[in-house]
Structure 1
């Protein structure tokens, strides 16, 4: 029986989650794909801080050790930053590997370029994990866009900021106290700037815009405001009138182009995001035929993002499962 060989680039919270899901669901993979799925290599930044999770797995801090493996089918990229992630993904595609990424900053910058390169080499690109954690928003949009025209997307796209705002309202914590709690629970990084200043949600907005509208707005023209200026008094004041503050991204297609705004927004009980609490993300899609579709789910933590990666893995393997080890097909699939 053949085996699908996988390399993990990055072994932090998300990378460990991906490995655990793959390792503990072997029977499920065999049922779905008729093949074994095996992590054969893991790339880490500091090899002295890690040990291989299982005997026989290559643990290395040199990408060359991975890309030169004699048999490699899928590369899962779970690191941060534009480089060297983009270079690694590019070389994996040129090696004719299917690629899956959770790196929203890199994909916001280079997503379309990666997809075009994959077309050339006949591989698939999975990027569900770049947006909204465990919500299958990319797959939903890909299916919806067959005939519907999306006019607007709104979303709570960062679980960390939503958690902070929830704790400030429910427990009367200051911003600093709620942030500290988020860090203790693993929802926020030691340097939380990307989350609390809105950069993380911004990159996700750009990816959604590219998927929905085939283009991104001028990044410099996007209004972006984080949540660091929100005070307990502001939240308490709005709470007394049954209003809540949510950090909402909005992307709208207009005659003038794509308009994108990310800012703290006051919502009423009738708003679809009013009851989206804690680390949950939510996305509301406004389309011309189906109307409004809202999805919500966990957006921070080990398993939501890892789950999205593994679902992309299943989609990638199913695209050509009967000819997995043959020459590349002529057209890429976006999974």
Structure 2
């Protein structure tokens, strides 16, 4: 038997099915623990099932650090925007690719920029999940699933990564006062939802233009409020850890 009060589940994400994190969290909730995670997989692939299980056992399933490292994205809507309906959002949600593009603008090659992100620990040995847009896509899926109430898997997000951007593209844009960014979008439509992750060429008037390095930002549009933007500047492991701590405090108080 385990006498723990909480499970902090932070195994590597599975884009395909969310396992084994879903099983870990399900077991924890079923045995009377709160479940706190920074893993996007369970949020995307089992949000409703795990939320119902948590409710049945009078426990909490929280995941603030799954998107934007612990900035109050999910809790903002859960705690402070009751009855508001999210219509759309647009943002930069992958810090690794944003740093790569920033470094390329400063003159580094794509390969050197990727190597640097690996050396400081924000990119995996195989960085394809970031570079090909999968990490951004699963974050879009998590926001749509939780905040918009529409089940969406990463494979359902129109996706193009930054792997096809050349140094010449970055420098040419810079010479014109513009910047390439990997932009995430979702918008309600009459037929459901339209979502995308793809590079966009931004001019200085765009609110995402000055989101540099490992920073991220997202702008929400709801049926009741005008644009509401959250920006996180240069997050690190400590900000992810804070999100986990904040979730635990909110779970037990």
Tell me the TM-score range normalised by the shorter chain. over 0.9
1:158 paired residue number: 94
Query: What's the CA shift for 1:84?
Result: 2.0
Contact 1:133 1:281 in 2 (8 A): no
Contact 2:70 2:244 in 1 (8 A): no
Is residue 28 of structure 2 the alignment partner of residue 92 of structure 1? yes
Per-residue deviation, residues 241-276 of structure 1 (Å, max 9, x unmatched): 111111111011111101110001111211111111
Measure, in 1, the Cα distance between the counterparts of 2:19 and 2:112: 33
Contact 1:156 1:282 in 2 (8 A): yes
Contact 1:133 1:298 in 2 (8 A): no
Aligned length: 249
Contact 1:298 1:304 in 2 (8 A): no
Of the three residues 65, 71, 78, the one matched with 1:135 is: 71
Measure, in 1, the Cα distance between the counterparts of 2:128 and 2:46: 22
1:243 paired residue number: 178
1:107 paired residue number: 43
1:75 paired residue number: 7
Query: What's the CA shift for 1:299?
Result: 6.5
Q: TM-score, normalised by structure 1?
A: 0.71
Contact 1:163 1:277 in 2 (8 A): yes
When residues 189 and 298 of structure 1 are mapped into structure 2, their CA distance, relative to the original with a 3 A threshold, is farther
Query: What's the CA shift for 1:300?
Result: 5.3
1:117 paired residue number: 53
Measure, in 2, the Cα distance between the counterparts of 1:218 and 1:312: 24
1:192 paired residue number: 127
> What stretches of structure 1 of length at least 5 have no aligned partner?
1-67, 319-335
Contact 1:128 1:312 in 2 (8 A): yes
1:268 paired residue number: 203
1:333 paired residue number: none
Q: TM-score, normalised by structure 2?
A: 0.93
When residues 134 and 122 of structure 1 are mapped into structure 2, their CA distance, relative to the original with a 3 A threshold, is closer
Of the three residues 240, 245, 248, the one matched with 1:313 is: 248
Query: What's the CA shift for 1:186?
Result: 1.1
- Larger-gyration structure (1/2): 1
Measure, in 2, the Cα distance between the counterparts of 1:217 and 1:224: 13
> What stretches of structure 2 of length at least 5 have no aligned partner?
none
Measure, in 1, the Cα distance between the counterparts of 2:195 and 2:184: 7
Is residue 144 of structure 2 the alignment partner of residue 209 of structure 1? yes
Q: Which SS does the other structure have where 1:313 is aligned? A: helix
Measure, in 1, the Cα distance between the counterparts of 2:180 and 2:81: 31
2:83 paired residue number: 147
Measure, in 2, the Cα distance between the counterparts of 1:141 and 1:316: 16
Of the three residues 127, 141, 163, the one matched with 1:228 is: 163
Contact 1:157 1:299 in 2 (8 A): no
Which is further off, 172-181 or 81-90?
81-90
Measure, in 1, the Cα distance between the counterparts of 2:92 and 2:234: 9
Of the three residues 234, 245, 258, the one matched with 2:193 is: 258
Contact 2:138 2:154 in 1 (8 A): no
Measure, in 1, the Cα distance between the counterparts of 2:34 and 2:155: 33
Per-residue deviation, residues 99-154 of structure 1 (Å, max 9, x unmatched): 10111123211122111111111110111011111321111122454132211011
Per-residue deviation, residues 189-228 of structure 1 (Å, max 9, x unmatched): 1111111111111111111001222113465442101111
